[in-house]
Amino acid sequence: MFAIGVDGRPHNIEMSSDIGSAFRWGKPEADVSGFHLPSITTKQAEVIISVLITNPNPVPIPLLEMIYSIESDGRHLCSGTIPDAGTVHAHGSETIKIPLTLIYKDIVDTFQDIEPGQVIPYLVKVSLVADVPVFGQVTIPLKKEGTIPIPQKPDVDLDKVVWDHLSFEKTAATLHFSIKNQNHFEIGVKSLAYNLSLANVPIGEASLGQSTTISANDSGLVQLPISFRPMDFGGALWDIVRGRGTGYDMTGNLEVDTPFGPMHLPFNKSSETTLKKKGDDEDN
């Protein structure tokens, strides 16, 4: 399409429009695209906040800084600034990751109404400062809400030891564990590894391969068969085997799945347990 200009010459209006659209400027778009917990223990949570930024302009946009904070019901948990956060390519997108660590002891010590085992709300605030041609320095505020756990150690008890076979040469038994989930969220027990001593006599270590799901603030039972030779431990263990109860010491770890990701939960316990022969209880 042509038109006659004031100079008396024809101009290509369509071509001029194409050139103008090629150099159209706009503010970048951004979003908190993720709040991930790659590692959670009873001491701390590793957090990665992902911010997706899209640049609609024909030139790269430098990110001057990113200012972030995490709150919970108005309580300040952590904050920081990332200067020179990078550059977003022309007509491109970049995901900027903000790694940080939440120390649970600091949170619990600071806020008396937050206790281990709870699930608390979080509010992530991010202010993205970019240098955009034509517009100049632009600040883009972002928010994201969700929940995060403050894990509590499980309470693991050795309820009883049921002797399936008794002899001085070889003894086979089934350990009956009670696992109390002291958290306000469900856990799926994938494995249990432990070291066990009966009356200060070390029986050894083993791991549990079966899985079980325990609801929030509830208990679950797991059983684990073991075998050993009492003669390897001397007469003291044989006296224990022939008795009806003894003290025990146990340390170990639970690997669990949760709605927030996998967790590694250590435990330790010293208490008393009952020793029974198979068939002593109806449930055996």
| pLDDT tens digits in sequence order for the chain, 284 residues long | 444 444 555 545 444 444 444 557 888 999 999 999 999 989 999 999 999 999 999 999 999 999 999 999 999 999 999 998 889 999 999 999 999 999 999 999 999 899 999 999 999 999 999 998 888 899 999 999 999 999 998 898 888 888 888 777 788 888 888 999 999 999 999 888 888 887 778 877 766 666 789 999 999 988 888 887 777 766 666 666 666 677 888 888 888 999 999 998 888 888 888 777 776 654 44
Q: How far is CA 185 from CA 41, 246, 251, in A?
A: 15, 34, 23
**Whole-number pLDDT of residue 222:** 87
Contact between residue 84 and residue 65 where contact means Cβ atoms under 8 Å apart = yes
Dist. CA 260–CA 45, nearest whole Å: 11
Pair type for strands 155-165 and 261-277: parallel
Q: In this structure, what DSSP letter does residue 117 have?
A: T
35 half-sphere exposure, CB direction, 13 A CA radius: 21
Dist. CA 56–CA 28, nearest whole Å: 6
> Whole-model pTM above 0.95?
no
Encoded tokens for 107 = 């949170």
